[in-house]
Each structure stands twice: as C-alpha cells, then as structure tokens.
C-alpha cells in the first residue's frame, strides 16, 4: 500500500483524523484533533514502505529536530512526534490557508509579493541566526493565512534543513533534494552551502510571484540546472510591463551565481526589493540621506564594498569567510577552501516586515544605522581602465619627447619599462593537491580549473565532502558539470580497498555491456533514490586505481547514462 490511508474519525496516536490535507513522495498529511486540547493540528505521517529506509527515516526525524530549535511566528511549529503501529508521525501547527504556489501561472500584485517575501526573509534570517539552513525555499513551502493586515506568512517543511554543528549527514556528497526550479548554483554543483543559498531560492521565489513563472522554466531538468549555473537572470520587468526596472537589479543580485555577490541577509534583499517598488529611479536620488543606493549596479565585488562598517545588532552573527568558523557547511574531510569575504551585515530593523506593509521612503534602505551605499563594480572597473588609459597616453608622449630630446635608448627604455610594458600574465591556476585526481582522468578533467573538460564541462575542486556513517573517508574530489546538466564526481580514496568498499556498499556491478580490452566497469546504484545515476571504476589505470567516478544525469536512467556517457567517455 502506497502512503497511509485513514478514514475520517479514525483515531491514530490519540489524534482523531478529520480529513486529508495533502500527500507527497515521503508522507501524508491529515488534519486532526489534538487529544487533550481544543485545537487542530497537521499530522504528518511517513509512508509505511519508507520506514525501513534509514536515510528517509533520518530525514523525517531531522525535520522535527530542526524545527524544535526554532520559535518564531513566521515558522510552522512542531508540537510532538512519535512512532505508532510502525508509522512515524509528526504533529505540527495547522495553518488554515494555502501556500504561495497557488499563484503559479498568474502574476501577483507586486506590493503583496514583496510583502510575502519580506515576512519569509525575516523567518529565514531568524533560522540562520540559530545555525539552521532551510535549503528548500520555494512557493510551496510558504504558507499564507489571512490576517487583519493582509497575509500572515509562515515558512514550513524543514525536511532537508540542517543544524549547525550537527555531525549527522543524511545526504552523501552530491546528493540534491531541493526543487530544481529554486535551487542555488552551489547546491547544484556540490559546492559548500551557507545562508546565501536560501537567499538565492528566495530571489527565485520573488521572480515567480511577480511573473507567475519560475526564472528558468524548461521541460528538461538538465536545462534547468544549466541555466542556474550559467545563464543570466531574466528580467521580470520584460515580462510584466508595470514592474519598475529597478526590481530586476535587486533580483539579479539575490540570484548572483557567486554567493559573495548577493545581499548579506535575506532581510537586506527584502528591503532593496521594497525600495525598488517605491522608487521610479533607484540610482538617481539619495535614499534616506546624502549617499545613493546604487542598486542598478549591484554586481559589486565582495571585497572592498562592505555595506556598512557598523557592528551587527545584538543577536545577529557575523558570517565568516572561513568555512570552519560557521558550521553551516557539510562535514569537512578535505582541506577547507577559502571563500570571498561577504560584506558586513548592515544594522537596522525593518518594522513593516511583520505586517506586510511597505516602508516609507527613506526607511527601507536606511534602517537604524543610516543609508546603505553599494559600491558598483562596473563603475569601479571603468575608472581603473580610464586611469590605465591615461597613463599609457602619458607614457607614449614621454617616450616621444625623450627620443626627440636625445635622452637615449636607455632612458627611453626605462620609460617604456615603467609605463608601457604590458602586465605580466600570471601562470594559469593548477589543481594543486587535487592533481592526483585529475591525473587519472586526463581526457575527462582539464589540466587546470580554468579549462574545460570532456563535453565542455566546467570542473572545480570539491572543498568539502560529506561522508555517511560506515563509508570510507575519501581524500579529495573534483566535480564537473556540463551543459546538459550532467554532473560527474571524481573521488579519490586512500587506497583501492576503500574504493571497492564504497562501491560494494552502494552499488552492484553491471555486466550487461562491457568495454572490451579494458578494465572499466559500470555500477548500478542499489538505492533507486541514490543521488547518482551510475558509478564507474577503472582498475587498469594506476593513476585512477584508488578513484571512483559517480555520474548524475537528471531525467536519464542508468541504461541511458551507461550507453550515452559511460560507453563514450574517454577514460
């Protein structure tokens, strides 16, 4: 039997079932009466056939654990949990309303859309301050209930969230559970994920509410992945004529491919979106003071462009550039990488966030600490080019004058060396410690991280690896993603025995097709819900003897991946 079927009036775990609220891949949700209090609850039950799945069961328990750490009016509360008759259940606060996905296909009033985003942003920042990432922000997880001031917004479904400092990892390296349409590039590429991934998803959500369509609609999941990784953010104002163009720059910054280029918090993003709606020209006037809010040029560099030099308000943590300093990254078993330093959080509270109203002009961007200036990267680079150009013109003039005045070859050469000599081209970056991985797959992985691999794939060293209990710990890994959305993970283990142990635990060898005269083998995942579609191992190559290759090709079966990638790959 798929799922759980209860008739109205059935008593389960002392709760009296009223009616079915919804059904999903993991569980079923019923409206039920509390056994001892005059209140109704949402009773979520894990599908019976999934109870034996350790990972799914752990994720179900995780939702209750994570939500229990959060006490916020904008987050659905977990009341209790247990196991009865072989069924795991969670009782949660019941929200008598609907979720924001009901607006799919129709643009929402911009003021209402930004109000929903503002309340969601406040809830997300509250969770982030307590070390919790949601990792699946989307309209379907934003519940709306009526209130005196408009929408009451509550964030729900922390099923794939994780707690800071929690060593239990329920998803292997490369596992991806968030909805593709709203997933951040770092989630899709296997890079470390922090609070800014939730902001990216919130930016996608605002785009959807404003336009009625997700930012990168496509039938092919691979095309959606490729768009998140490489395509520019579409302009919402090009789809909805009444939207001010300034909103495009705000969404584009929240959805920047590089996390360091996004806003420093979700609430800062919501404030900028509010300002975009209340101003016809974001860049022409000052906001709440003499310094301009240049949101039209939001593609700033993370370094040298801090939002404010003030200390954050009480209760707000500074997000460190060191992955070890904030524990929101997965368990690190390889050398931690360095990420660009995010700009310091700008102090100030957005009072209208909770009510869904729009701040008055001058309040939204200024907050408690004054206006929020943003340093535009393009303008800064243009200035640098202009200075460089003037120096070159001056240098040519000096060189001509020196030759005419008879300064001589040495003097003219000195002038040339100082002013005209082109900048020395730095050597291309190398794989460093990850060169041992790349050396085993020279036709698949480029010689350096700036090159392109097989099928024009972009490759990067995976800075942090997640290890399931009982699995051998890998040494290092390189991740490659091509334009079709295919992701390949090249993982090196300390020895061949560890690589074999990993494959034995998670795969079965496929013997239906063989590449003759090679020792290359393909492996089928044991778990149909595994995050990889196919694994490969080449024992005949001494350079890759300790490595395992895993491939995820969204929308493709094992057989399709085997025939269209593994059989053709230049191992």
Q: How confident is the model at residue 561 (pLDDT cuts 50, 70, 90)?
A: very high
The pLDDT assigned to 519 comes to 76
CA–CA gap between residue 445 and residue 243 (Å, rounded):
44
pLDDT tens per residue across span 101-130: 988 889 999 999 999 999 999 999 999 998
Q: Using only C-alpha atoms, what is the Rg of the chain? A: 27
Poorest-pLDDT segment among 44-48, 258-262, 315-319: 315-319
The pLDDT assigned to 185 comes to 94
What sections of 100-152 are H helices per DSSP? 110-129
The reply to whether domains 11-93 and 99-164+180-375 share a CATH topology is: no
Q: Are 53 and 61 in contact (CB under 8 A)?
A: no
The one catalytic residue in 136, 194, 248, 498 is 136
What residue ranges do the domains of the chain occupy? 11-93, 99-164+180-375, 380-420, 432-566
The pLDDT assigned to 25 comes to 66
Mean pLDDT for the stretch of residues 387-410: 43
The pLDDT assigned to 515 comes to 54
The pLDDT assigned to 332 comes to 28
Of 269, 279, 206, 198, nearest to 236 (Cα)?
A: 206
Q: How confident is the model at residue 403 (pLDDT cuts 50, 70, 90)?
A: very low
Considering the chain, what is the average pLDDT of its residues?
73
Structure tokens at 541: 């190559």
Say whether pLDDT at 324 is over 90.
Answer: no
Q: How confident is the model at residue 68 (pLDDT cuts 50, 70, 90)?
A: confident
Mean pLDDT for the stretch of residues 248-274: 95
Say whether pLDDT at 333 is over 50.
Answer: no
| Paired residues of 126 in beta bridges | none
The pLDDT assigned to 490 comes to 94
The pLDDT assigned to 64 comes to 75
Say whether pLDDT at 443 is over 50.
Answer: yes
The pLDDT assigned to 112 comes to 94
- How deeply is 235 buried, as exposed, middle or buried, from its count of CB atoms within 10 A (0-12, 13-18, 19+)? middle
User: CA–CA distance from 333 to each of 182, 324, 470, 477, 502 (Å)?
Assistant: 28, 11, 14, 11, 16
- The crossing angle, in degrees rounded to 10, of helices 110-129 and 195-211 is 170
Say whether pLDDT at 366 is over 90.
Answer: no
Mean pLDDT for the stretch of residues 375-391: 41
CA–CA gap between residue 522 and residue 549 (Å, rounded):
9
Q: How confident is the model at residue 321 (pLDDT cuts 50, 70, 90)?
A: very low
pLDDT tens per residue across span 69-103: 788 999 998 888 888 888 889 998 999 889 999 88
Q: Are 348 and 367 in contact (CB under 8 A)?
A: yes
How are beta strands 78-84 and 162-163 bridged, if at all?
unpaired
Q: Are 297 and 377 in contact (CB under 8 A)?
A: yes
The pLDDT assigned to 325 comes to 35
Mean pLDDT for the stretch of residues 11-22: 92
Q: Are 298 and 426 in contact (CB under 8 A)?
A: no
Domain 11-93 has CATH 3.50.50.60: no
Structure tokens at 246: 């300034």
Q: How confident is the model at residue 555 (pLDDT cuts 50, 70, 90)?
A: confident
pLDDT tens per residue across span 519-528: 788 999 998 8
Greatest Cα pair distance, the chain, in angstroms, is: 105
CA–CA gap between residue 7 and residue 428 (Å, rounded):
66
Q: Backbone phi, then psi, for 427, in 5-degree steps?
A: -65, 145
The pLDDT assigned to 218 comes to 84
Q: How confident is the model at residue 334 (pLDDT cuts 50, 70, 90)?
A: very low
- How deeply is 436 buried, as exposed, middle or buried, from its count of CB atoms within 10 A (0-12, 13-18, 19+)? middle
- CATH top-level class for 99-164+180-375? mainly alpha
Say whether pLDDT at 361 is over 70.
Answer: no
Q: How confident is the model at residue 457 (pLDDT cuts 50, 70, 90)?
A: very high
pLDDT tens per residue across span 460-509: 998 777 788 888 989 999 999 998 889 999 999 998 899 999 999 999 99
| More confidently predicted of 422 and 430 | 430
Residue recorded with tokens 């063989």: 514
Structure tokens at 241: 């004529």
Structure tokens at 260: 């360091």
Share of the chain above pLDDT 70, in %: 68
The pLDDT assigned to 26 comes to 74
The pLDDT assigned to 159 comes to 61
Q: Backbone phi, then psi, for 459, in 5-degree steps?
A: -125, 145
- How deeply is 165 buried, as exposed, middle or buried, from its count of CB atoms within 10 A (0-12, 13-18, 19+)? exposed
The pLDDT assigned to 349 comes to 30
Catalytic site residue 99? no
Mean pLDDT for the stretch of residues 126-155: 90
Q: How confident is the model at residue 513 (pLDDT cuts 50, 70, 90)?
A: low
The pLDDT assigned to 341 comes to 28
Structure tokens at 354: 């909770």
Poorest-pLDDT segment among 13-27, 67-81, 379-393, 557-571: 379-393
Q: How confident is the model at residue 518 (pLDDT cuts 50, 70, 90)?
A: low
Say whether pLDDT at 50 is over 50.
Answer: yes
Of 273, 147, 265, nearest to 210 (Cα)?
A: 273
Mean pLDDT for the stretch of residues 4-14: 89
* Residue 297, helix vs strand vs coil: helix
**Percentage helix, strand, coil for the chain under 3-state DSSP, each rounded to 5:** 35, 15, 50
Q: Are 433 and 477 in contact (CB under 8 A)?
A: no
Q: Which helix (H) or strand (E) holds 162?
A: strand 162-163
| More confidently predicted of 102 and 1 | 102
Poorest-pLDDT segment among 30-44, 342-356, 366-380, 480-494: 342-356
The pLDDT assigned to 23 comes to 79
pTM: 0.51
Mean pLDDT for the stretch of residues 279-286: 43
CA–CA gap between residue 413 and residue 185 (Å, rounded):
49
The pLDDT assigned to 467 comes to 80
């Amino acid at each position: 039997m798929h799922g759980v079927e209860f008739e109205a009036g059935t008593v389960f775990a002392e709760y009296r079932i009223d009616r079915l609220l919804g059904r999903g891949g993991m569980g079923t949700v019923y409206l039920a009466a509390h056994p001892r209090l005059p209140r109704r609850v949402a009773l979520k039950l894990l599908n019976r056939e999934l109870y034996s799945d350790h990972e799914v069961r752990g994720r179900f328990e995780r939702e209750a654990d994570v939500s229990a750490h959060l006490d916020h009016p904008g987050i659905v509360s977990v009341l209790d949990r247990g196991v009865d008759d072989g069924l795991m259940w969670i009782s949660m606060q019941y929200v008598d309303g609907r979720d924001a996905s009901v607006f799919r296909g129709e643009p929402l009033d911009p003021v209402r859309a930004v109000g929903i985003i503002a309340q969601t942003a406040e809830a997300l920042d509250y969770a982030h301050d307590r070390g919790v990432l949601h990792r699946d922000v989307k309209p379907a997880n934003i519940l709306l209930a009526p209130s005196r001031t408009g929408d009451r917004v509550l964030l729900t479904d922390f099923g794939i969230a994780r707690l800071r400092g929690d060593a239990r990892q329920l998803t292997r390296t490369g596992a991806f559970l968030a909805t593709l349409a709203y997933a951040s590039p770092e989630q899709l590429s296997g890079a470390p994920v922090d609070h800014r991934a939730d902001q990216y998803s919130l930016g996608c959500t605002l785009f959807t509410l404003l336009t009625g369509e997700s930012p990168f609609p496509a039938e092919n999941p691979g095309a959606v992945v490729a768009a998140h990784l490489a395509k520019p953010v579409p302009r919402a104002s090009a789809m909805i004529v009444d939207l001010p163009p300034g909103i495009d720059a705000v969404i584009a910054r929240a959805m920047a491919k590089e996390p360091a280029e996004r806003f420093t918090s979700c609430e800062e993003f919501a404030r900028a979106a509010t300002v975009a709606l209340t101003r016809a020209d974001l860049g022409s006037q000052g906001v709440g003071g003499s310094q301009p809010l240049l949101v039209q040029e939001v593609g700033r560099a993370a370094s040298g462009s801090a939002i404010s030099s003030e200390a954050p308000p009480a209760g707000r943590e500074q997000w460190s550039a060191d992955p070890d300093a904030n524990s929101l990254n997965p368990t690190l078993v390889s050398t931690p990488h360095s990420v660009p330093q995010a700009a310091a959080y700008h102090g100030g509270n957005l009072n209208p966030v909770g009510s869904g109203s729009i701040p008055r002009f001058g309040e939204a961007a200024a907050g408690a600490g004054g206006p929020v200036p943003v340093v535009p990267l393009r303008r800064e680079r243009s200035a640098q080019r202009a200075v460089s150009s003037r120096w070159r013109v001056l240098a040519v003039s000096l060189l001509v004058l020196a030759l005419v005045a008879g300064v001589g070859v040495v003097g003219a050469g000195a002038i040339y060396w100082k002013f005209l000599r082109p900048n020395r081209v730095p050597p291309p970056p190398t794989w460093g410690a990850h060169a041992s991985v790349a050396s085993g797959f020279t036709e698949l992985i480029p010689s350096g991280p700036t090159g392109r691999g097989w099928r024009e794939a972009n490759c990067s060293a995976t800075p942090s690896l997640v290890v399931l209990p009982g699995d051998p710990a890998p040494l290092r890994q390189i991740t490659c993603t091509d334009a079709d959305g295919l992701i390949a993970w090249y993982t090196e283990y300390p020895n061949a025995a560890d690589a074999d142990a990993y494959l034995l635990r998670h795969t079965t060898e496929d013997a239906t097709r063989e590449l003759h005269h090679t020792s290359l083998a393909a492996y089928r995942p044991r778990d149909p819900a595994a995050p990889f579609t196919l694994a490969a191992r080449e024992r005949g190559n001494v350079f890759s003897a300790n490595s395992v290759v895993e491939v995820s090709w969204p929308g493709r079966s094992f057989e399709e991946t085997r025939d269209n990638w593994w059989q053709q790959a230049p191992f």
